[in-house]
Each structure stands twice: as C-alpha cells, then as structure tokens.
Structure 1
Amino acid sequence: MNPIPSATTKHPQVRTHLLVRIALVTAITCILAPLSIPLPFSPVPLSLTNLVLYISIFILGWKAAAVSYLVYLLLGAIGLPVFSGFAGGLGKLAGPTGGYLVGMIFLTILSGWIAERFLKKPAVILIGMLLGSAVNYLFGTVWLCVQLHLSFAEGLMIGVVPYLFFDITKILIALFAGLTIQKRLKALLL
C-alpha cells in the first residue's frame, strides 16, 4: 500500500496532486543536483542528488519517484545543465560518473520499495536506503573503473570511500525529513 495516494487511485484530483508532486520533485532535483562540490582526487563530485532521491521516495512512493528521476535524467540527456557542475548532455551519462547517474534509478526503486513495505519500521527503511546506495555504488564503481581503467579497489577508493560519511548523513537526514513530510502530506491529501 502506498503511504500517500498514488496514481492508481481513480479520483482525478489525486492524480493531479501526484503529477504536481512529480513535477516539483523533478524541479527540485534539477535545482539541487548541479550544486555539487568537485573533489581534487576524484571525478565524482559531492552532490545533493541522492538526498533529493531519498526524500522523494517518501513524498512520491517508489514508482513515482523513479519516474521523477527518469524525467530528470532525460532533461539532462537532452542537454539541459541539470547534472553536477551544471553539465548536461549524453556525454555526462557516458562519462566516468554516468554509472552513478544510472545506478540512482535502482537506488530509488530499491530504497522506495522497502520504505513502502516497511512504513512503520524506520530501522528497516534505513537498511533499505543503505542497500539502495550499495547498488548505486556498484553501478557507479564498475562504470568508473571501465572509463578510467582502474581496478575495482581503486574505483572504490576514489568513487565510494570518500563519500560514505556524507551519504550516511544524507540518508539519516532524509529518513527523518522524509517520514515527517510523508505524515504531513498524508494528512493533507486524505
């Protein structure tokens, strides 16, 4: 059961609310994702993209959150400067950080699916978000290694290890904020 009304609900007003939320989350992703911090030792910047995705699963549910992120990816792929560092285009998706961008689809789906199934269990949701991040790291690291001709261990050292503290912090912020926002949205929409 979705935590808040979803597109499967027959009522047109609920569908409109969901479409507006998808558009708003996509817009927020487009605004916050380019605001990244490049790190001198890695082509992977410190980004707010995953924070937005973690929160989006509480606002939209996993299916709509995945749609929102896919729209963001399409906007970036056609050249809008919505990726980290205000970049856009297919070159960014094909470049060293493209695996992380693609992996975030699975981060959203896995984390969101677990969050919906275990709505009353924050510890399980936390584990789901960590698993989603691990899948994202795997996609990103494999692609980074292919692009830069690195060993998997080297890829982990420049594409994952330096970001663990920040990503765990973002997960904790998103868990608290997401559950709070979700309760308020549910009260407004039901």
Structure 2
Amino acid sequence: MLTRDLVLAALFAAIIVVLGLLPPIMLGFISVPITAQSLGVMLAGVVLGAKRGTIAVLLVLLLAAIGLPVLSGGRGGLGVFAAPTTGYLIGWVAAAFVTGFLSEKLVKREQPGLVQGTGFFISALLGGVVVLYAFGVTYLALVTGMGFVKAFLGSLAFIPGDALKALVAALAGRAVMVGYPLLPQRA
C-alpha cells in the first residue's frame, strides 16, 4: 500500500469523524439514532473503492475502540461495541467494502455522467443501506431479543434518509471523478 493510499484513507476517516459531530437524532421507538456517519461510509466506498474505503472505516473503529470520541454523539471506548447498535458499526466495514467493490465494477471513467451517477447510487444503496442494515438489524434483533421482524420494521423509518445519503454519496462520487482526474483509480 502506498503512502498516498494511507493518506486518502486517513482523510476519509476524518470525514467520517467530522460527520459524527452532527448530533444524532433519536426517533424514540427504536434505540438506533439517525446519524450522518453512514454517509461518510458510503463516500469512502464510492470515492476510494473497496480496499481504501474499508481501511478508512477500520481506522475510525480503531480510534473509537481506543477511547477517542469519534462516533456520533461523542461516543468512544470499548463500550460502544457492547451496545445494541454495534451491528451497525460492524456493518460499516462490510458496507464500505461492498459500496467500493460495486462502484469499481459499475463505474468507469469513459461512461457518460448519468451512467456514472447511477452506478454510484446503486453501489451506495446496496452497500451503504442493504448491507449495513443486514448487519445492524440482525445484531439488534439478536441482542435485544425483540425479534428480527420487529427490528426490521423499526428500521424502515431510516430508509428514506439513507436513500438520500446514497444520492448525496453518488453525486459526490461523480463530482470527485470529474473534478479530480488525477486521483488514483479506486482500488
């Protein structure tokens, strides 16, 4: 791995941390808050690709594990990995990887802009929403004992916001591809 790859991963880890400064929004009927950090996970995947995007997310989780308040609401420490929302944190890793992998496969520089944007959106939606929810909902259902159906139904309230985040990630991915042609290929 090149120094440039590590710098880009660290930059996107910082973006994820900064998005955590926005206060979480609790809905009240489920213990999972609405946060902006999942947008950062999607951005890392679409802009950096599978490998570097995953490294960015792992870096954020490492910082959280050693106690730095890098998660939404100023949370950090090993205790965040023993909460009902831990599945979503674990899911970040898979979400960044899948988003990056799909964007690498679906989006090419020679494609028209609309095709690129659509590819980024599909990548962010499948990786950053479907995969993330698969981990988060499953863990939430198992740990809280509420059952998979109830956990899944409770998570449906988050889908519109996360679809909007996927759209923002797609637009950003397209803008980076056009605006920074010297950025190394997503890998």
- Give the TM interval when normalised to the shorter protein: 0.7 to 0.9
Q: Deviations over 1:17-73 (max 9, x none)?
A: 332221111112112124222222221111111111111223322100100100100
Aligned position for 2:67: 79
Q: How does 1:9-24 map to 2 (within 5 A)?
A: 15-24=2-11
Shift in alpha-carbon separation, 1:136–1:58, aligned structure 2, 3 A: closer
TM-score by length of 1: 0.84
Same amino acid, percent of matched pairs: 34
Q: Deviations over 1:90-127 (max 9, x none)?
A: 22112100001101111111111010111144434433
Per-residue deviation, 1:16: 3.3
Shift in alpha-carbon separation, 1:188–1:27, aligned structure 2, 3 A: closer
1:168 to 151, 163, 172: 163
Letter in 2 for 1:80: L
Shift in alpha-carbon separation, 1:188–1:82, aligned structure 2, 3 A: closer
Letter in 2 for 1:134: V
Within 1, Cα distance between the matches of 2:65 and 2:75? 10
Within 2, Cα distance between the matches of 1:175 and 1:43? 28
Shift in alpha-carbon separation, 1:59–1:135, aligned structure 2, 3 A: closer
Aligned position for 2:138: 142
Per-residue deviation, 1:166: 0.2
| Contact residue 90 and residue 135 of structure 2 kept, 8 A | yes
Aligned position for 1:10: none
Instruction: Give secondary structure in 2 for the equivalent of 1:186.
Output: coil
Note if 1:26 corresponds to 2:22. Answer: no
2:89 to 96, 101, 113: 101
| Contact residue 141 and residue 147 of structure 2 kept, 8 A | yes
Unaligned runs of 5+ in 1: 1-6, 8-14
| Contact residue 48 and residue 100 of structure 2 kept, 8 A | no
Note if 1:46 corresponds to 2:34. Answer: yes
RMSD, aligned α-carbons: 1.8
Note if 1:63 corresponds to 2:59. Answer: no
TM-score by length of 2: 0.86
| Contact residue 20 and residue 71 of structure 2 kept, 8 A | yes
- More off after superposition, 180-189 vs 105-114: 180-189
Within 1, Cα distance between the matches of 2:126 and 2:100? 11
| Contact residue 64 and residue 71 of structure 2 kept, 8 A | yes
Note if 1:128 corresponds to 2:123. Answer: yes
Unaligned runs of 5+ in 2: none
